[in-house]
Amino acid sequence: MVLARLPISESAAAVQALVAVGAGPLLVADDDIARLPEAILAKRLVPALGAPSPMYQVEPWRAGPVKAIGLDCSRVVLIIRAKLVSKRVGRWEQGPDRGSSMAHEMLSWHGPVTSLLRDEGDGPSIRKVAVKTAHVIDLWTLNPGPEARLGPGLIGHLRIHGDKFSWDVLNHLKAHGDHSNADRLALLLAEQCTRAQVDLGFAPFADASARTLGRSYRSMGNGAEKTEQGPIFEFYSAWSMIRVLKLGYRPPSPHAPRGA
Protein backbone atom coordinates (compact mmCIF):
# COMPACT_ATOMS: atom_id res chain seq x y z
CA MET A 1 0.00 0.00 0.00
CA VAL A 2 0.98 3.65 -0.35
CA LEU A 3 1.46 5.18 3.09
CA ALA A 4 2.03 8.78 2.01
CA ARG A 5 2.94 11.13 -0.83
CA LEU A 6 5.68 13.46 0.38
CA PRO A 7 7.99 16.14 -1.00
CA ILE A 8 11.46 14.82 -1.78
CA SER A 9 12.88 16.93 1.07
CA GLU A 10 10.81 14.94 3.60
CA SER A 11 10.97 11.47 2.07
CA ALA A 12 14.40 10.40 3.37
CA ALA A 13 13.46 11.07 6.99
CA ALA A 14 10.18 9.18 6.56
CA VAL A 15 11.99 6.15 5.13
CA GLN A 16 14.50 6.17 7.99
CA ALA A 17 11.68 6.29 10.54
CA LEU A 18 9.96 3.29 8.94
CA VAL A 19 13.19 1.32 8.77
CA ALA A 20 13.80 2.05 12.46
CA VAL A 21 10.56 0.26 13.40
CA GLY A 22 11.32 -2.75 11.23
CA ALA A 23 9.34 -1.86 8.10
CA GLY A 24 10.72 -2.33 4.59
CA PRO A 25 9.56 0.81 2.75
CA LEU A 26 10.07 1.40 -0.97
CA LEU A 27 10.57 5.01 -2.04
CA VAL A 28 9.24 5.73 -5.53
CA ALA A 29 9.72 9.15 -7.09
CA ASP A 30 7.40 10.70 -9.65
CA ASP A 31 10.38 10.81 -12.02
CA ASP A 32 10.73 7.01 -11.76
CA ILE A 33 7.17 6.61 -12.98
CA ALA A 34 7.51 9.27 -15.68
CA ARG A 35 10.48 7.42 -17.23
CA LEU A 36 8.49 4.25 -17.76
CA PRO A 37 6.82 3.75 -21.15
CA GLU A 38 3.08 4.17 -21.55
CA ALA A 39 1.12 1.01 -22.19
CA ILE A 40 0.60 -0.17 -25.75
CA LEU A 41 -3.03 -1.24 -25.95
CA ALA A 42 -3.35 -4.61 -27.66
CA LYS A 43 -6.19 -5.40 -30.03
CA ARG A 44 -5.20 -8.97 -30.85
CA LEU A 45 -2.49 -11.56 -30.11
CA VAL A 46 -1.44 -13.96 -32.86
CA PRO A 47 0.83 -16.89 -31.86
CA ALA A 48 4.12 -17.10 -33.75
CA LEU A 49 3.88 -20.64 -35.08
CA GLY A 50 7.17 -22.49 -35.31
CA ALA A 51 9.02 -20.14 -32.95
CA PRO A 52 11.59 -21.84 -30.69
CA SER A 53 9.84 -20.41 -27.61
CA PRO A 54 6.39 -18.86 -27.03
CA MET A 55 6.06 -15.61 -28.97
CA TYR A 56 3.17 -13.51 -30.27
CA GLN A 57 2.57 -10.89 -32.89
CA VAL A 58 0.66 -8.04 -31.27
CA GLU A 59 -1.79 -5.98 -33.28
CA PRO A 60 -2.08 -2.70 -31.37
CA TRP A 61 -4.89 -0.17 -31.31
CA ARG A 62 -4.02 3.09 -33.07
CA ALA A 63 -0.75 1.61 -34.26
CA GLY A 64 0.26 4.53 -36.49
CA PRO A 65 3.24 3.61 -38.67
CA VAL A 66 3.85 0.44 -36.62
CA LYS A 67 1.26 -2.14 -37.67
CA ALA A 68 2.43 -4.95 -35.39
CA ILE A 69 5.00 -5.61 -32.66
CA GLY A 70 6.48 -8.79 -31.28
CA LEU A 71 5.99 -10.17 -27.78
CA ASP A 72 8.73 -12.57 -26.70
CA CYS A 73 7.42 -14.40 -23.63
CA SER A 74 10.97 -15.02 -22.41
CA ARG A 75 11.33 -11.25 -21.84
CA VAL A 76 8.17 -10.80 -19.78
CA VAL A 77 9.13 -10.19 -16.15
CA LEU A 78 5.81 -9.07 -14.69
CA ILE A 79 2.17 -10.01 -15.37
CA ILE A 80 -0.54 -8.02 -13.58
CA ARG A 81 -4.11 -9.31 -13.65
CA ALA A 82 -6.66 -6.81 -12.32
CA LYS A 83 -10.33 -5.92 -12.25
CA LEU A 84 -11.11 -2.19 -12.46
CA VAL A 85 -14.39 -0.90 -11.05
CA SER A 86 -16.26 2.23 -12.12
CA LYS A 87 -19.31 3.42 -10.18
CA ARG A 88 -21.91 5.96 -11.23
CA VAL A 89 -24.55 7.27 -8.82
CA GLY A 90 -27.50 9.53 -9.66
CA ARG A 91 -30.83 10.66 -8.22
CA TRP A 92 -34.06 11.67 -9.95
CA GLU A 93 -37.16 13.17 -8.35
CA GLN A 94 -40.32 11.24 -9.07
CA GLY A 95 -43.30 12.99 -10.60
CA PRO A 96 -45.93 12.67 -13.32
CA ASP A 97 -43.65 14.23 -15.93
CA ARG A 98 -40.45 12.45 -14.94
CA GLY A 99 -41.19 8.85 -15.96
CA SER A 100 -40.17 8.83 -19.60
CA SER A 101 -37.10 11.07 -19.25
CA MET A 102 -35.91 9.13 -16.21
CA ALA A 103 -36.30 5.84 -18.08
CA HIS A 104 -34.31 7.24 -20.99
CA GLU A 105 -31.47 8.31 -18.68
CA MET A 106 -31.43 4.91 -16.98
CA LEU A 107 -31.20 3.11 -20.33
CA SER A 108 -28.20 5.26 -21.25
CA TRP A 109 -26.21 3.77 -18.38
CA HIS A 110 -24.06 0.72 -19.07
CA GLY A 111 -23.24 -2.16 -16.79
CA PRO A 112 -25.28 -3.87 -14.06
CA VAL A 113 -27.75 -1.35 -12.64
CA THR A 114 -29.50 -1.31 -9.28
CA SER A 115 -32.43 1.06 -8.70
CA LEU A 116 -33.58 1.96 -5.21
CA LEU A 117 -36.73 3.89 -4.20
CA ARG A 118 -36.10 6.25 -1.32
CA ASP A 119 -37.91 9.03 0.51
CA GLU A 120 -35.72 12.12 0.34
CA GLY A 121 -36.84 15.60 1.32
CA ASP A 122 -40.50 16.30 0.60
CA GLY A 123 -41.03 13.36 -1.74
CA PRO A 124 -39.62 10.07 -2.96
CA SER A 125 -36.77 9.92 -5.46
CA ILE A 126 -34.97 7.24 -7.41
CA ARG A 127 -31.35 6.59 -6.52
CA LYS A 128 -29.60 4.54 -9.17
CA VAL A 129 -26.17 2.94 -8.88
CA ALA A 130 -24.45 1.60 -11.99
CA VAL A 131 -21.30 -0.46 -11.54
CA LYS A 132 -19.11 -1.42 -14.47
CA THR A 133 -16.05 -3.67 -14.33
CA ALA A 134 -13.16 -3.88 -16.78
CA HIS A 135 -10.73 -6.80 -16.86
CA VAL A 136 -7.11 -5.96 -17.57
CA ILE A 137 -3.79 -7.77 -18.00
CA ASP A 138 -0.58 -5.71 -17.99
CA LEU A 139 2.62 -7.27 -19.33
CA TRP A 140 6.00 -5.70 -18.58
CA THR A 141 9.09 -6.79 -20.49
CA LEU A 142 12.76 -6.25 -19.77
CA ASN A 143 15.71 -6.77 -22.08
CA PRO A 144 18.05 -9.41 -20.66
CA GLY A 145 21.66 -8.77 -19.79
CA PRO A 146 23.65 -6.50 -17.45
CA GLU A 147 22.56 -3.37 -19.34
CA ALA A 148 18.94 -3.78 -18.19
CA ARG A 149 18.03 -0.83 -16.00
CA LEU A 150 15.36 1.82 -15.55
CA GLY A 151 15.52 3.73 -18.82
CA PRO A 152 13.90 4.23 -22.22
CA GLY A 153 14.14 1.51 -24.82
CA LEU A 154 14.88 -1.31 -22.37
CA ILE A 155 11.43 -1.72 -20.84
CA GLY A 156 8.23 -2.64 -22.66
CA HIS A 157 4.65 -2.26 -21.46
CA LEU A 158 1.69 -4.02 -23.11
CA ARG A 159 -1.93 -3.84 -21.92
CA ILE A 160 -4.82 -6.18 -22.67
CA HIS A 161 -8.13 -4.47 -21.86
CA GLY A 162 -11.25 -6.61 -22.07
CA ASP A 163 -13.33 -3.85 -23.68
CA LYS A 164 -10.89 -3.53 -26.59
CA PHE A 165 -9.38 -6.98 -27.05
CA SER A 166 -10.23 -10.03 -29.16
CA TRP A 167 -10.07 -13.22 -27.13
CA ASP A 168 -9.71 -15.39 -30.25
CA VAL A 169 -6.15 -16.26 -29.20
CA LEU A 170 -7.68 -18.58 -26.60
CA ASN A 171 -9.16 -20.83 -29.32
CA HIS A 172 -11.06 -23.68 -27.63
CA LEU A 173 -10.42 -22.14 -24.20
CA LYS A 174 -12.48 -19.07 -25.07
CA ALA A 175 -15.39 -18.58 -22.67
CA HIS A 176 -18.35 -16.22 -22.36
CA GLY A 177 -17.48 -12.97 -20.66
CA ASP A 178 -14.33 -10.92 -20.17
CA HIS A 179 -13.82 -12.12 -16.59
CA SER A 180 -13.33 -15.78 -17.50
CA ASN A 181 -11.39 -14.98 -20.65
CA ALA A 182 -8.99 -12.65 -18.84
CA ASP A 183 -8.38 -15.28 -16.16
CA ARG A 184 -7.72 -17.96 -18.77
CA LEU A 185 -5.39 -15.79 -20.84
CA ALA A 186 -3.49 -14.66 -17.74
CA LEU A 187 -3.01 -18.31 -16.73
CA LEU A 188 -1.85 -19.24 -20.25
CA LEU A 189 0.63 -16.36 -20.32
CA ALA A 190 1.88 -17.21 -16.84
CA GLU A 191 2.65 -20.72 -18.05
CA GLN A 192 4.42 -19.44 -21.18
CA CYS A 193 6.27 -16.51 -19.57
CA THR A 194 8.34 -18.63 -17.22
CA ARG A 195 10.50 -15.71 -16.00
CA ALA A 196 7.51 -13.56 -15.02
CA GLN A 197 6.29 -12.71 -11.58
CA VAL A 198 2.48 -12.80 -11.40
CA ASP A 199 0.78 -9.97 -9.51
CA LEU A 200 -2.83 -10.34 -8.33
CA GLY A 201 -2.69 -7.66 -5.67
CA PHE A 202 -4.44 -4.66 -7.21
CA ALA A 203 -7.78 -4.96 -5.38
CA PRO A 204 -6.37 -4.86 -1.80
CA PHE A 205 -3.84 -2.20 -2.87
CA ALA A 206 -6.61 0.02 -4.26
CA ASP A 207 -8.68 -0.33 -1.10
CA ALA A 208 -5.74 0.35 1.22
CA SER A 209 -4.28 3.23 -0.82
CA ALA A 210 -7.44 5.03 -1.93
CA ARG A 211 -7.21 7.63 0.84
CA THR A 212 -3.59 8.44 -0.03
CA LEU A 213 -3.84 8.35 -3.81
CA GLY A 214 -7.45 9.55 -4.07
CA ARG A 215 -10.12 8.19 -6.37
CA SER A 216 -10.80 9.58 -9.81
CA TYR A 217 -14.04 11.55 -9.43
CA ARG A 218 -16.11 13.73 -11.69
CA SER A 219 -19.59 15.19 -11.83
CA MET A 220 -21.70 13.98 -14.74
CA GLY A 221 -24.51 16.55 -14.43
CA ASN A 222 -28.12 15.98 -13.30
CA GLY A 223 -26.76 15.18 -9.85
CA ALA A 224 -24.82 12.15 -11.13
CA GLU A 225 -21.31 11.37 -9.91
CA LYS A 226 -18.74 8.92 -11.24
CA THR A 227 -15.72 7.33 -9.60
CA GLU A 228 -13.29 4.97 -11.33
CA GLN A 229 -10.15 2.98 -10.51
CA GLY A 230 -8.34 3.48 -13.82
CA PRO A 231 -5.94 6.19 -12.56
CA ILE A 232 -5.10 4.15 -9.45
CA PHE A 233 -4.29 1.17 -11.66
CA GLU A 234 -2.00 3.29 -13.85
CA PHE A 235 -0.01 4.12 -10.72
CA TYR A 236 -0.14 0.55 -9.40
CA SER A 237 1.14 -1.00 -12.62
CA ALA A 238 4.11 1.38 -12.82
CA TRP A 239 4.79 1.05 -9.07
CA SER A 240 4.80 -2.74 -9.37
CA MET A 241 7.35 -2.66 -12.21
CA ILE A 242 9.56 -0.22 -10.30
CA ARG A 243 9.39 -2.56 -7.32
CA VAL A 244 10.68 -5.38 -9.54
CA LEU A 245 13.50 -3.16 -10.79
CA LYS A 246 14.54 -1.57 -7.49
CA LEU A 247 14.34 -4.72 -5.40
CA GLY A 248 16.20 -6.65 -8.07
CA TYR A 249 14.63 -8.93 -10.63
CA ARG A 250 14.85 -12.60 -9.74
CA PRO A 251 13.26 -15.23 -11.95
CA PRO A 252 10.69 -17.15 -9.88
CA SER A 253 11.57 -20.62 -8.75
CA PRO A 254 9.62 -23.30 -10.65
CA HIS A 255 8.68 -24.79 -7.27
CA ALA A 256 7.58 -21.52 -5.61
CA PRO A 257 4.14 -19.86 -5.77
CA ARG A 258 4.11 -17.14 -8.45
CA GLY A 259 1.24 -15.00 -7.23
CA ALA A 260 2.11 -11.70 -5.58
Query: C-alpha angle with apex 244: 243 to 247, nearest 5 degrees?
Result: 75
- Residue-wise pLDDT for 77-135, tens only, equals 999 999 998 887 776 555 555 444 444 454 454 444 444 444 344 555 566 777 889 99
Q: What are 144-155's pLDDT values in tens digits?
A: 554 444 444 478
Give the integer Cα–Cα distance in Å for 31 and 165.
Answer: 31
> Where in the chain does DSSP place strands (E)?
40-47, 55-60, 69-72, 76-93, 113-120, 123-142, 155-161, 197-199, 216-221, 224-228
Report the sign of the C-alpha dihedral through residues 91, 94, 97, 102, in that order: positive
Q: Break the chain into its structural domains and give their ranges.
A: 36-249
177: left (phi over 0), alpha (psi -120 to 50) or beta: left
| Spatial contact of 114 and 127, defined as CB atoms under 8 Å apart | no
pLDDT score, position 233: 92
